[in-house]
Chain A
Amino acid sequence: MTTGLDVANLSLVDAADAVRNGEVSAVALLEACLANLDAHEDAVNATIWVDRESAFAAANAADAKRAAGGPLGPLHGLPLAHKDMYYQAGRLSSCGSAIRKDFVPDYSATVIDRLSAAGAYAFAGLNMAEFAQNGTGHNHHYGDCRNPWNLPYITGGSSSGSGAAVASRFTFAALGSDTGGSIRLPAAANGVTGIKPTQTRVSRYGVMPLSFSADNVGPLARTAGDCARIMSVIAGHDPRDPTSADMPVPDYEAELNGDLRGVRIGVPTTYFFDDVDAPVRDAVEAAASVLAGRGATVVRLPLPLMDAVAAYVAVVSRAEAATIHSQWMRQHPQDFATHISGRMFPGYAIPATYYVEALSRRGPILKAFATEVFTQVDLLVTPTIRICLPTLAATDIDNGPPGTEHLALGISTNTRPFNYLGLPTASVPCGFDPNGLPIGLQISGRPFAEAAVLHAADAYQRDTDWHTRRPSIMTA
């Protein structure tokens, strides 16, 4: 039986298979994750709460069930932790805010129920941007989440704790949410793999809303295979979320075979590489070559209307966020961090005609994208973040000099367009910058083509080892 701290270094798929085969116990997995948490949480600050008692009860129950002959789900006995905005009946869901610091819902999110039905259990609520509203990972109520690869630097947000906890081996995977990049940014910044599914692919029932037109639920984990397994569990129509798509869910894992022959990979010649930092550009170009080595054809092409797309999604998400938060903004304005207020306030200044304009353009632009882009290529690869990661201090809007907000808001320049288009998009680690911080490769596909996106991500990871490396705090 595998023992010791190394079991926390297993991928989610390997850990689940090890439990299933009796090579490791669920309790041993939990102990390994908690050992890493105890060793590094003070430095990283990835959690808001940890429930050890119920975690050990769940792990012991998982081991007992296996001993009794099952049946065992695909995530049996796995300790997971999620962004602290997934409702779990009877448990705190702070949403990273002061306003909801005591909020305990009496029902659970559908995705939490589905993960539980697959055998996993949640043992911690993870740090996040206040109400999921920044791309850097700053949180003035629970403390900023720090990057385990280089602590003064940002983790990306808003699922900051999800990225940092997966990278630090506190958990095998974590749910994040993505309205403008909030899964992909922390995946990129922490050197892990994450996927924002197609808009409406995964139920949002019981998940804190930010923008109903742009919100997405998805996983962050070590590998594309890990994400595939979780997606197979959580994707699919939910009668409790009428907006969720009623489309068949493939076995995402079964489609991972490393063969990219016949796949056309698009590298945009517009927008996504504007003012890109050289180490980022070089890493993404090298990644395209790796994909070509697996049989893919690389095609360079311009993309239509990208500047407008970035503006449209900002207008939609800000108007909707302002609507959702309007009562709290009136009653508790002092309870929001200043940079959160500053991001939300413009939503009140958006005329209805502009909001409707932004929404009504979505279909035609998506159609144009489908006919002009996805007739030429099957997937797009771009940098997840255009620049080498900045420090927390350099992006602290509330305490920085004027202009700090431009650097902070610019983090999501390459991720936001895919929320407006609703396209499935993953981020996989593809290198390191001169400060030892990870670089992310963004892979996007047609609507509901999560399988193709994960297939390419997995193929890339078969020839690279960026995703297996451990952060410097763990190797020092």
Chain B
Amino acid sequence: MPEMPDEAALELEFDVFARRAGLEIPDDRKPALFAGFKDLRRMLALMRQPRTAADEPAGTFSILSVTRAL
């Protein structure tokens, strides 16, 4: 998922996601929505980081527990 496919593969992926979400996207809106989709794919590439013990449930803090720890 993180790596960017070529334009044709991205368009296919875009159509699949729209169909899966039950959306009928008008032709005149497709370029704008596709641009947003490509921007998202760029961001997804940043997301995967190594997971450590800190990422396991017992190591996960809420904003309240972090505040108590300060």
Binding site for B on A (CB under 8 A): 198-200, 245, 247, 307-308, 310-312, 314-315, 318, 322, 326, 329-330, 333-334, 338-339, 341-343, 345-346, 348-351, 354, 357-358, 360-361, 363-364, 366-368, 370, 374, 397-398, 402, 405, 409, 422, 446-448
Contact = CB atoms under 8 A, between A and B. Distances in A.
Contact of A345 (B20, B37, B54): B37
B43 to A, nearest CB: 4
B66 A367 contact: yes
Contact of B26 (A199, A329, A334): A334
Interface string B21-52: 11111101101110111011001101111000
A326 B40 contact: no
Given A326-B21, A346-B37, A367-B66, A397 B46 contact: no
Contacts of A349: 13-14, 17, 37, 40
A446 B36 contact: no
Main SS of the interface on chain B?
A: helix
Q: Which 10 A-B pairs have the closest CB atoms?
A: A346-B40, A342-B32, A348-B21, A363-B61, A349-B17, A363-B60, A342-B36, A311-B46, A311-B43, A364-B54
Nearest to B28: A338
A314 B43 contact: yes
B63 to A, nearest CB: 5
A308 B49 contact: yes
A370 B62 CA distance: 12
A322 B39 CA distance: 16
B8 interface: no
Nearest to A402: B35
A245 B69 CA distance: 16
A326 to B, nearest CB: 7
Contact of A447 (B1, B33, B55, B63): B63
Contacts of B4: none
A397 B34 CA distance: 13
A380 to B, nearest CB: 15
Contacts of B32: 338-339, 341-342, 397-398, 405
Contacts of B61: 363-364, 366-367
Given A329-B23, A330-B22, A333-B25, A346 B63 contact: no
Contacts of B47: 308, 311-312, 315, 354, 357-358
A326 B35 CA distance: 19
Given A348-B21, A447-B63, 4 more contacts: A308-B46, A318-B40, A349-B37, A354-B47
Given A366-B66, A446-B70, A360 B55 contact: yes
